[in-house]
Amino acid sequence: MMEKTAIVWLRRDLRTHDHPALSAAAESCERVVPLFVLDRRLLDGRFASGPRTAFMLGCLRELDEQLQALGGGLCLRDGSPEQVLPELAAQLGASEVYWTSDVSPFALERDRRVTKRLKAIGVEAIPSPGNFCADVSLPRTKNGKPFSVFTPFWKAERELPRRPLLPPPAVLRLPDGLDCGALPESPQLGDQLAEPFCRPGEPAARAALELWLDGPIDSYAELHDNLSGGTSGLSAWLRWGCISARETEQRAQQRGGEGAEAFVRQLAWRDFYAHVLLMFPDNLKLEYQAKFRQLEWVSDEQGFTAWCEGQTGYPLIDAGMRQLAATGWMHNRARMVVGSFLTKDLHIDWRRGEEWFERRLLDAEPSQNNGNWQWIASTGVDPAPYFRRLFNPILQQQRFDPRGDYVRRWVPELANVPTKRLAEPWLMSDDEQAESGCVIGSDYPAPLVEHKQERLRAIERYKAASA
């Protein structure tokens, strides 16, 4: 009997554990070709990212080692999937191509074109689940409509069936003589990270998951807003599929407790924003709340540059932006505060913040990034009124970094500023500035804007748009 060959087209599912597409291919066919296509539309496109590309390449190197340990290996091709997949399938005589389905408009249209071209040469395209805890296309309101509010979505998604977890395939085999290609040594993009937040790849991801479940998760409900710690740090690995969200959810549930429950709920936010983008694809370019498409945004290049570089004069804002620049990651509480500052203190379009995050974050993915930016800009699916999302960077710092550990870590100019002055260093007297070695306006910038005034200005802008 003739041996069957399948291709597994990998995208952001770079693992061997709990991989439905890989498992299905290994069960169906004797020869399996795990393929990653270096698609320049993504690598060099609208949201080109040197840090994320470097992380992705690291994940692929680790995946190749994992696949080789199973008897297979990773196949690399440069080009567009619409051309690469039919050509490789024809070359290998592959009968099936498996992949993990996704939700972005780009991914859906690309997959439609690939499916059409594969069908034309008699190759079956088989999308599989695997990027989320559940099937995000399924939840509906009682009226049969998609959800646009998290809590009822969360209640509905909890009731959905979950697929069983899958072990890695016992063995994989490549076709004889296949040229697998080679990964580039490093991305041809600048702007690399000084202190990458985490190591790429499945082994590092699984080790981090084990460590998280071994105790720290128990304090998550209490500490997750603590800027100096308390979160899992798993987001980049989840984004690249080095660990599956489904396995992460089930294992947290098995751990149990208040912390695990709160963590599982946060995983559901990832599914929620995927659901929202799938159902409302225009969100990638337009405000979900049509009334706020009339908002007038400010063109302030000096302010935007100061925000990007962490030179706004507000310590928490600057700490968050410098953490992002150095590590490719930022604590979620800090993300909310810097987002509020950009859109409601500087009055700069949320899309500019979204783009900056896409270029810098190791964990940036369209549904999450867009959902979070529209949430903080009060233009998205968040039902809370806009004035509830006007974060005061001074009060946020005092509440979530009370000892100043986070700020001092990322803004070393302020290392010796007394804690009572740390959230408002511009209030230091001349003697205090001299004693702390931090002269405002020289060693550290004076505040770019006055928050109280800009808060009132933001309220007027949103009122006008609502009217």
Alpha helices in 129-257 (DSSP H): 150-158, 202-213, 220-223, 235-239, 245-255
Closest CA to 462 of 293, 307, 337, 299: 293
Closest CA to 287 of 275, 300, 298, 276: 276
Task: Output the furthest CA–CA distance in the chain (Å, rounded).
Answer: 87
Residue 345's φ and ψ, nearest 5 degrees, are -105, -40
Rounded (to 5) percent helix, strand, coil in the chain: 55, 5, 40
The overall pTM is greater than 0.85: yes
Closest CA to 2 of 30, 23, 34: 30
Question: And the tokens for 146?
Answer: 């998609």
Closest CA to 58 of 269, 172, 217, 204: 204
Q: How far lies 124's CA from each of 10, 35, 81, 118, in Å?
A: 16, 16, 15, 7
β strands within 205-348, DSSP E: none
pLDDT mean by block of 10 residues, the chain; 467 residues: 91 98 98 96 84 95 98 97 98 97 96 98 97 96 96 97 97 96 72 91 98 97 95 98 98 98 98 98 96 94 98 98 98 98 98 96 96 97 88 98 98 98 98 97 98 97 92
What pLDDT was estimated at residue 1?
A: 59
* CATH number for region 5-131: 3.40.50.620
Question: And the tokens for 267?
Answer: 């995983």
CB neighbourhood size of 234 (10 A) = 20
- Is-same-fold flag (5-131; 132-162+202-279)? no
The single-letter code of the amino acid at 212 is W
Residue ranges of domains in the chain:
5-131, 132-162+202-279, 290-466
Query: Which helix (H) or strand (E) element contains residue 6?
Result: strand 5-10
* CATH number for region 290-466: 1.10.579.10
| CB 372 within 8 Å of CB 335 | yes
According to CATH, the topology of domain 132-162+202-279 is: 1.25.40
Residue 163's φ and ψ, nearest 5 degrees, are -75, 155
